[in-house]
Structure 1
């Protein structure tokens, strides 16, 4: 199991989209906090590197990677069931699957961009939320954490497809939160679905590529990982159905 100490000791948390910079930082932070971490990513090589980095940094932690087709509902359900069977519980799903397409003007929006973003940003949220809902509800501190963008609340002309997809993913996650409310007992839900909102993310490689860029309002992936881990430090009532802003509200 986990490394036996830390705020999340004994917790089992799945991370979808674990191979990118944000996923790598999240695996490291959750492992540091003592959680068992199960990552998935569409790029198996990138996922293996992220898993190995977290294992190396925290030698006592259980960090594993699994190949999952999140665009297939049954495969996603099988993943959730396998995690619960293997580790006895599921306390979280962190949704980091991302993607961006945009244009210079509204009339330059490519509907093929929407087709791609609908799959990456909406369909994967639908599948992970449906697949993990019951297991998260069985946990005494289950959390579904969606990472979204401020642009969902204030779309720009060139970001129509991206902003609309993010807004739809947020609405779906808020519906999941209402599901936790409606199936809870008199004491209220112990599980929660919440949204962490960023303007955009930045990491060390981006800074190295653009040393003079300011990245104003961007959230560092390590700060995002810290905020993700912090969701479990808050009560379900504090986070369920809420947007937690890591950047200035538009």
Structure 2
């Protein structure tokens, strides 16, 4: 299937459990990939096709490095059509009164800051070419406060508001900006940390990748600024 054979797709957090699956799905759909991660050593080197896979290392917590990463990709491919922001993470927290400022700022920067830095770097080019797709990754947990998770919940909530704002600012410039809200992903780490859970109710990375590809396709042209729930059956 060559649904994305005319598109350059940037995937951040490309070496993670979800990033690898999303990258594989886009690759098999014909896309040219720019796989972004903190360093090259963490990237999965299997099935490398230099014609359609370009690996770029960079710390997206830094706006300067994020700009440099995007510049390298544009120099390599000439353009960027799709940005999939998967970079981020979860760190178990403490009650607000016991949360350090450093922990608060780290979580906000890791989840919302990286999405802001990369989106900021690609939007002008997408506007100039008159088309573009940005898919951010928030979380089901972003929809309500949860004890001991203030920094994580706030950071993922910020991703939703960032998505809506980008969509509003660019909807008449040919850009579609949406985000996904996954429930618990079925990953080895989550299985290890919750061994008694019903894994069958969780969201598989492959199922979430299907949603991401839909949002990057022409079929999603009427969807903009949306937060798409992907909860599985849990």
Normalised to the residue count of structure 1, the TM-score between the two structures is 0.82
User: Aligned to 1:121, which of 104, 111, 116?
Assistant: 111
Q: Is the 8 A contact 1:24 1:54 kept in 2?
A: no
Matching residue of 2:151 = 161
Unaligned stretches of 5+ residues in structure 1 = none
Can you list the C-alpha shifts for 1:152-198, whole angstroms capped at 9, x where unaligned?
111211211110111112211211111112xx2xxxx4211111111
Q: Is the 8 A contact 2:168 2:225 kept in 1?
A: yes
Q: CA deviation at 1:137?
A: 2.3
Can you list the C-alpha shifts for 1:10-68, whole angstroms capped at 9, x where unaligned?
21011111111111111111110100111111143221x2xx2353xxx6961121112
Identify if the C-alpha distance between structure 1 residues 249 and 165 changes in structure 2 by more than 3 Å, giving closer, same or farther. Answer: farther
Q: Is the 8 A contact 1:139 1:191 kept in 2?
A: no
Q: Is the 8 A contact 1:90 1:139 kept in 2?
A: no
Q: Is the 8 A contact 2:202 2:233 kept in 1?
A: no
User: Aligned to 2:15, which of 10, 16, 19?
Assistant: 19
Q: Is the 8 A contact 1:102 1:161 kept in 2?
A: no
Matching residue of 2:76 = 86
Unaligned stretches of 5+ residues in structure 2 = none
Q: CA deviation at 1:134?
A: 1.3
Identify if the C-alpha distance between structure 1 residues 61 and 245 changes in structure 2 by more than 3 Å, giving closer, same or farther. Answer: farther
Identify if the C-alpha distance between structure 1 residues 249 and 25 changes in structure 2 by more than 3 Å, giving closer, same or farther. Answer: closer
User: Aligned to 1:225, which of 201, 209, 230?
Assistant: 209
Normalised to the residue count of structure 2, the TM-score between the two structures is 0.88
Aligned pairs for 1:96-245 (under 5 A) are: 96-103=86-93, 105-139=95-129, 141-181=131-171, 184=172, 189-203=173-187, 206-207=190-191, 212-215=196-199, 217-235=201-219, 237-245=221-229
Moved more, 133-142 or 123-132: 133-142
User: Aligned to 1:37, which of 33, 37, 48?
Assistant: 33
Moved more, 112-121 or 228-237: 228-237
What is the number of residues matched between the two proteins? 234
Partners of 1:103 and 1:216 lie apart in 2 by 27
Q: Is the 8 A contact 1:31 1:54 kept in 2?
A: no
Identify if the C-alpha distance between structure 1 residues 209 and 162 changes in structure 2 by more than 3 Å, giving closer, same or farther. Answer: closer
